[in-house]
Amino acid sequence: MLDILKYQRAGQPRASTGKGAIEIDQVAITFGQGAEAHRAVEATSLKILPGEFVCILGPSGCGKSTLLNAIAGYVAPSAGEVRVDGAKVEKPGPDRGMVFQQYSLLPWKTVYENVAFGPRMAGKSRTEAGSIANTFLGMVGLRKFGSRYPAELSGGMQQRVGIARALANYPSVLLMDEPFGALDAQTRLMMQESLLEIWQKFGTTVVFVTHDVDEAVFLADRVLIMSAAPGRVIEDLKIGLPRPRSTDMAAQPDYIRARQHCLEVIRAESRRAFAEQNA
């Protein structure tokens, strides 16, 4: 905890809403029943601070998305509960913005209408929702594309719209499920940098799911590594790199050390899982 304060001092002062504290309290998630039952997440407890950028890192199928879905309110935990700012999560809501891996914009609404959708649902007037939409589209550099339909945009542009759409509700938590996983390497780098910029402006809590070690280390204050199914957090690593971050930090010893450590944890875990399967 102390470490985080130190980074904040070290980097650029970070806006914080003071909201967006997440508590995961003994959460276990099981799908199916009886012999068919599949435990996706093992009893897990953790706390995420307001304004913190947390990456959940793990192999595919480890339950990291399931855990994220529990915070979003799409999946009800079989045991335990998730609380955001003290309130138990029962269902999805605009206080927790969600960015999906891909194709989640409403294809029959224009880019502008997609971003204005949240404010409209919150009861804002057409003009007010429109000006919010324009602000956020401007922030992700897509104001010119407002009248296009999502399918007319590239994958990277669609994801920027997705981020603008989620932020247009001023959520206290931004949940991101491998949002850059389907993008090419160059676009991904650019998107990571602009995400950090936006985050630094808003100070929302970010929970970012990825299977890419470099992505996690580059973005996060804290990397949570999950084991293979049933998922549980096997490592909680603070990343001490200063902010704002830039891609050239990949050469710094701190970065290399953190990356190395993540890889070692993952390797040890895969070996263990492999041995278990063979036993």
Partner 1 sequence: MQANTVLSGPAAAPDPDPAEMHDAGPPPAPVPRRRRILPKGWAGQAGLMALSLLAGLAIWQMGSSQGWNLYVNFANIPSPGQVGTSMLHNLGASEFYVHLGVSIQRVLVSFALAVIVGVPVGLLMARSRVFRAMAMPYIEILRPIPAVAWIPLAILMWPTEESSIVFITFLGAVFPIVLNTLHGARQTPEVLVRAALSLGASRLDVFRHVILPAALPSVSAGLAVGMGVAWFSLLAGEIISGQYGIGYFTWDAYSMVRTPDIVLGMLAIGLLGTASTAAVNALTAPLLKWQKRTR
Q: Which residues of the chain form contacts with partner 1 (CB under 8 A)?
A: 72-74, 91-94, 96-98, 100, 103-109, 117-118, 121-122, 149, 151-152, 165-166, 169
If the CB atoms of residues 10 and 106 are measured against partner 1, the closer one turns out to be: 106
State in angstroms the smallest separation of the CB of 94 from partner 1. 4
State in angstroms the smallest separation of the CB of 244 from partner 1. 28
If the CB atoms of residues 4 and 122 are measured against partner 1, the closer one turns out to be: 122
Going across the sheet that includes 222-226, the strands are 96-99, 173-177, 205-210, 53-57, 222-226, 233-238
State in angstroms the smallest separation of the CB of 196 from partner 1. 22
Q: Kindly state the helix (H) or strand (E) to which residue 157 belongs, with its residue range.
A: helix 155-167
State in angstroms the smallest separation of the CB of 103 from partner 1. 7
- The whole-angstrom separation of Cα 71 and Cα 66 is 9
If the CB atoms of residues 117 and 218 are measured against partner 1, the closer one turns out to be: 117
If the CB atoms of residues 152 and 264 are measured against partner 1, the closer one turns out to be: 152
State in angstroms the smallest separation of the CB of 104 from partner 1. 5
If the CB atoms of residues 32 and 107 are measured against partner 1, the closer one turns out to be: 107
Q: What is the dihedral of CA 202, 206, 211, 217, to 10 degrees?
A: 70
Helix, coil or strand: residue 41: strand
Q: How many CB atoms lie within 10 A of CB 225?
A: 23
Cβ–Cβ under 8 Å, residues 223 and 216: yes
If the CB atoms of residues 114 and 227 are measured against partner 1, the closer one turns out to be: 114
227 DSSP assignment? P
Cβ–Cβ under 8 Å, residues 71 and 225: no
- The whole-angstrom separation of Cα 86 and Cα 29 is 21
Q: Kindly state the helix (H) or strand (E) to which residue 85 belongs, with its residue range.
A: none
State in angstroms the smallest separation of the CB of 43 from partner 1. 25
If the CB atoms of residues 108 and 186 are measured against partner 1, the closer one turns out to be: 108
State in angstroms the smallest separation of the CB of 117 from partner 1. 5
Cβ–Cβ under 8 Å, residues 194 and 140: yes
- The whole-angstrom separation of Cα 76 and Cα 89 is 9
Residue with the two structure tokens 């009800």 = 76
- The whole-angstrom separation of Cα 50 and Cα 227 is 25
**Residue 186 Cα distances to 152, 162, 214, angstroms:** 20, 19, 14
If the CB atoms of residues 119 and 231 are measured against partner 1, the closer one turns out to be: 119
State in angstroms the smallest separation of the CB of 228 from partner 1. 25
